[in-house]
Chains A and B, each alone.
Chain A
Amino acid sequence: MAEPTEIIAKARRGDSEAWGEVYRHYAPAIFRFCRRVLPTSEDAEDATMEIFLKLRDKLRQYEPDRPFSAWLYRVAANHCWDQLRRRKLRQNLETEDVDEVPLEHPDPGQLEQLITERSGEDVRRALRTLPARARMALVMRYYSEMNYDEIADALGVQRTFVGVVLLRARHQLRDAMLAANQTLESRGNA
């Protein structure tokens, strides 16, 4: 998505109409981001509005030499993670030691088959069943394309753990998709 740099610059100078344009340009993407990481659509709507109200006040802090969308996603990720943390959704993950997570070598053929056979809706449904941190990590990386530094910063983990967090999240997602598949099959047999 090409960035409307002129409009962003106007908005930074306090132009309300320009900020309205910025909102209309980016709000759908931010809503989708929030929708992927937060539990309900209403939560995502609330969060989107809160993020943009927050951004309006923080706009002067934005450095134009960086991509605006990256800054936007960073604020959104921090906001959503705060929301989830406040709700103690990550309570059982706070003490999780990522070093202890077993990372078994999957069969590449089965993995490819699993991915290609699943629809986007299947993947999103499985995503919703994941723990908050896994969900956040996957969305930050594969939706917002945030780099490892930004993910580490948002999640409050060491940078060296980001890869492990992501891989662990992928494993959990695969397990969730397989479980959903087995449920469907058992219903079909019944």
Chain B
Amino acid sequence: MNDRMNHFDEIACLLYLEGELDAPRAAELRAHAAACQSCGAMLRALGTESLGLTRAFTEADEPFPARLAAFDANPSAARWAWLLAFGLGGAAAYMLWAGVIAPLWDSISQAGFDGSTLLSALVFNGAFWKGWSSMIDSVQTAALIALGIFAFSFVPLRLRRGAAVAAIFGAIVLLAGFPAPARAAEIHKGSQFYTLEKDQVIHDDLIVSGERVEINGTVDGDLIVFAQSVTVHGHVTGDIIAFAQFLRVDGSVDDNIRGAMNTLTLDGSVGKNVSIVAQSVDIGSNSTIGGSLTCAAGDALIDGKLGRTLLAVVSKHTEIDGSIGGDSRLIGNHLSIGSTAVLSGPVSFNGVEPPDVADGAHLVSPVHFVQQRRPHRAATVLGFVHAVLRYGAAVLMGLLLMTTLPGFFDAGLRAARRWPTALGIGALTSIVWFFLVIASILLLLAGVGAGLATVVLYFPFAYLSQIFVGAWLGEAIVPLHTPGTGAQLGRLALGLLIIDAVKLVPILGGLLWIAVLLWGTGAILLGIYEQSRRPVAVAA
């Protein structure tokens, strides 16, 4: 009680109204308020305030969210989904390893990359290009930043501050860990013709672009070239990395030849390996390759001497008249082995027609021939099983998204409903992505690693795009507001089934696939954007 005014104060009035005053004091206040206009008014005002608060708080001011209406409060579904998904994921990982990675790894090992992992071979040993580690340029940085932003968007908001600090320190450590930039290369560009004269020596990497490039002198480093026609009569102590229409090497290369071209003609010597993509490959009779030849080509003629293995995917015809020191693994249409051929390792050929082996050819064992099946893969039982597995995997991935990232799934689905926007953003992003890939692969300064990183970054988007479009399609066909993850999963399964079915239709299926890719990519990006825009909390 306020002694000076002889009134009860506000806290006493509140406690009285809330039934929290002890009985004698409550009786005292009741008696006082009956006689005191001020305290009576205070009691009434506080009572009105309490009622006003209750009314304001209990008003249904916003609809019950659809996500909650569809939520399955029984966690058992999520548990079996997790178990199933992890089980299938493990099986899929094993199949991927046993069916794809392990054979590929064997092939790569036989092609001369043995002794280290693929990653370290690509990145640290400079198997593709020695200058890779020093070429952390803008495109690579952009690809890494994109990857970082993508990963960061999945960090819960409350952890972001800590994650950002960790990322900054991590980046500093990584940057500190990078080797110092290699020596600067000598760069020639813009001129139509470039010729390195016979008595000239460049004690550096040489990067050159032009219509016609001729190397008659010595490059004491790598030769990196972008040209219509490239001829190397001279000596390159490092690698030749070429993107050209014609590449002819009559001289000597101490390390490797790598790149993409229309025609490769080799009449000189290569100390290590040749790894190329070309329309036509001609390894002349005077040529020697100390290591392996790995190529994807339209036609291949191998007359020269190959120190180690041959790994070739040739769409039309392969002819071998030279010598091969190691294994030969070929995939293609037709293989001819001439009478002068000396093949010191086993030969396997996966082709359409049986190989022609001339009488005088020296082989350690008969060619192991595996005939390719002509029927369309999709028509086979195996193809059908694969299609079903792919479909099941997509449905499972959708279920995983629903249960583990429901906010992201809902945001993506909401974005998919705004299909013109999603399609537009997907198309725009894909165009930018495409140019980024092309730029980072073909513009040699960027480094192939950036292109690979960018392509790899796109895979999750490409895969998940079908899930969001499928969920939208299922929802459009069965617009039932049935609660529960099960109903939502059913709609997703229906949508995915329709997409997979339409994909089988020639032309229309391809167009649909592109539309789904663009639409879904846009929806994912919008979903990520929406999730990232969720405000952090209002500060107290």
Contact = CB atoms under 8 A, between A and B. Distances in A.
Interface in B479-503: 483-484
B45 A87 contact: no
A53 B73 contact: yes
B459 interface: no
B71 interface: yes
Contact of A42 (B7, B10, B41, B407): B407
Interface string A118-138: 111101100111011100001
Contact of B15 (A24, A86, A163): A163
A interface SS class: helix
Given A45-B65, A45-B67, A103-B11, A123 B56 contact: yes
A1 to B, nearest CB: 11
A87 B537 contact: yes
A143 B10 contact: no
A20 B38 contact: no
B56 A16 contact: no
Interface in B35-93: 38, 41-42, 44-46, 48-50, 52-62, 64-65, 67-68, 71-76
24 contacts: A27-B73, A39-B537, A49-B73, A52-B73, A53-B73, A53-B75, A87-B536, A89-B540, A90-B540, A106-B10, A106-B45, A108-B38, A112-B45, A115-B48, A115-B52, A121-B56, A142-B50, A143-B57, A143-B58, A148-B18, A164-B11, A166-B14, A166-B18, A173-B53
Interface of A: 16, 19-20, 22-24, 27-28, 31-32, 35-36, 38-43, 45-46, 48-49, 52-53, 56-57, 84, 86-87, 89-93, 103, 105-106, 108-109, 111-112, 115-116, 118-121, 123-124, 127-129, 131-133, 138-139, 141-143, 148, 163-164, 166-167, 170, 173
B103 to A, nearest CB: 44
Given A90-B540, A115-B52, A163-B11, A31 B68 contact: yes
Given A87-B537, A109-B41, A45 B68 contact: yes
B74 A16 contact: yes
A131 B377 CA distance: 65
A19 B20 CA distance: 36
Given A89-B540, A142-B53, A167 B61 contact: no
Contacts of B75: 53, 56-57
A93 to B, nearest CB: 6
A111 B538 contact: no
A170 to B, nearest CB: 7
B383 interface: no
A105 B76 contact: no
B406 interface: yes
Contacts of B71: 23, 27, 48-49, 52
A98 B292 CA distance: 80
Interface of B: 2, 7, 9-11, 14-15, 18, 20, 38, 41-42, 44-46, 48-50, 52-62, 64-65, 67-68, 71-76, 158, 406-407, 483-484, 534-540
A116 to B, nearest CB: 7
B312 to A, nearest CB: 55
Given A48-B71, A112-B41, A142-B57, 4 more contacts: A28-B60, A52-B71, A84-B540, A120-B61
A132 B54 contact: no
Given A56-B75, A123-B53, A87 B20 contact: no
B9 A103 contact: yes
A158 to B, nearest CB: 13
A91 B540 contact: yes
A172 B11 CA distance: 15
Contacts of B59: 120, 124
Nearest to A92: B540
A48 B68 contact: yes
B64 A27 contact: yes
Contacts of A42: 407, 534
Contacts of B18: 141, 148, 163, 166
Contact of A87 (B46, B54, B60, B158): B158
A143 B51 CA distance: 10
Contact of A120 (B20, B56, B67): B56
A163 B75 CA distance: 39
A28 B36 CA distance: 43
B540 to A, nearest CB: 4
Contacts of B9: 103, 105
Contact of B73 (A19, A36, A132, A138): A19
A41 B20 contact: no
Given A49-B406, A120-B55, A40 B73 contact: no
B80 to A, nearest CB: 12
Contacts of A124: 56-57, 59, 61
Contacts of B73: 19-20, 22-23, 27, 49, 52-53, 56
Contact of B52 (A39, A84, A123): A123
Contacts of B407: 42, 45-46
A120 B58 CA distance: 9
Nearest to B8: A105
A104 to B, nearest CB: 8
A56 to B, nearest CB: 6
A39 B157 CA distance: 13
Contacts of B2: 105
B326 to A, nearest CB: 59
Contacts of A121: 56, 61
Given A16-B76, A20-B73, A39-B538, A116 B52 contact: yes
A139 to B, nearest CB: 6
A180 B76 CA distance: 47
Contacts of A57: 75
A166 B54 CA distance: 14
Contacts of B535: 39-40
A142 B54 contact: yes
A31 B64 contact: yes
Contacts of B60: 28, 32
A111 B38 CA distance: 13
Contact of B45 (A31, A93, A108, A138): A108
Most buried by A among B48, B67, B537: B537
